[in-house]
Every structure is written in C-alpha cells, then in structure tokens.
C-alpha cells in the first residue's frame, strides 16, 4: 500500500525558514517523480515544485522560485521541501504527491499525503 506522510509544518515568522519532509513507502521510491502541492486556507490547489526520480531535474512555480528547494534522499525514501524567506502568502497546507508518467507524455498525481500545515505569521 502506498503511503506518504508529511511532517515539519508549523508556525514560522515572516522571513523565516522551514523544512518539510515526506516519508514514502509501498512503492519503489527512486523510480517515481514526486511533487509538492499546496492549498491556502479556503482556496484551491497550487502546484509548488516537482523533482525527477533520480533528483537530477527539479521544477518550481514562479511564486517560490529562488526561495524553495526541493530535494530527495532515495536511500531514505524521503522527499524534502526547504522553504526560505517565507511570506504570509506561503501559509497553506502542503501536500506531497507521487507522480505517474506515461510514455505518451501525460502525467498525474496518483497518491497524496495527508498534508502538513505551514503558517507564516508574526
């Protein structure tokens, strides 16, 4: 059974940093790209960042580029999101999700964690 468990959320002051983790199990972690999606309170879903299975390719939304760093440790089956220079607008539930890619080109997020809440406030 695929399981994704996020941790590391909490209250942080504007300008501060936080590192989120996502522990994965139930699948061959290194084979799959992974992603972070966030949801501000009462709002919709926003893709934040993605990383290839090897970790060699990373992708970011413009809203976090230069501030957030996605990484993974395939020996620990864990995905990370280092969040720096945090702003009030980064307040959200952060979900990690496993990606599935097809040879025809499409991809999707087939499994999601339960989310971890990040609150940026003084």
Partner 1 sequence: DIQMTQSPSSLSASVGDRVTITCRASQSINNYLNWYQQKPGKAPKFLIYAASSLQSGIPSRFSGSGSGTDFTLTISSLQPEDFATYYCQQSYSTPLTFGQGTKVEIK
- Residues in contact with partner 1 by CB under 8 A are 35, 37, 44-47, 50, 59, 61-62, 95, 100, 102, 104-115
The smaller minimum CB distance to partner 1, of residues 27 and 112, is found at: 112
Q: Which long-range contacts (CB under 8 A, 24 or more apart) does 102-107 make?
A: 107/33
Nearer to partner 1, 80 or 94 (CB): 94
Could you tell me the smallest distance in angstroms from the CB atom of residue 30 to partner 1?
Answer: 21
Tell me how long the chain is. 122
**CA-to-CA dists, residue 102 to 23, 44, 59, 79, 120, angstroms:** 24, 26, 18, 22, 37
Shortest distance, position 92 Cβ to partner 1, whole Å = 13
Q: Are 25 and 32 in contact (CB under 8 A)?
A: no
Select 106 or 122, whichever has its Cβ closest to partner 1. Answer: 106
Q: How far is the CB of 54 from partner 1 (least distance, A)?
A: 17
Phi, psi dihedral angles at 30 (to 5 degrees): -70, -10
We find the least distance from the C-beta atom of residue 122 to partner 1, in angstroms, to be 27
């Amino acid at each position: 059974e695929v399981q994704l468990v996020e941790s590391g959320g909490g209250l942080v002051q504007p300008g501060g940093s936080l590192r989120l983790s996502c522990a994965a199990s139930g699948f061959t972690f290194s084979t799959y790209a992974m992603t972070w999606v966030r949801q501000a309170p009462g709002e919709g879903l926003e893709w934040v960042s993605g990383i290839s299975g090897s970790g060699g390719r990373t992708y970011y939304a413009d809203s976090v580029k230069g501030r957030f760093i996605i990484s993974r440790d395939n020996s620990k089956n864990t995905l990370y999101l280092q969040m720096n220079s945090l702003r009030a607008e980064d307040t959200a539930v952060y979900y990690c999700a496993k990606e599935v890619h097809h040879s025809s080109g499409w991809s999707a997020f087939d499994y999601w964690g339960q989310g971890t809440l990040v609150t940026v406030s003084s």
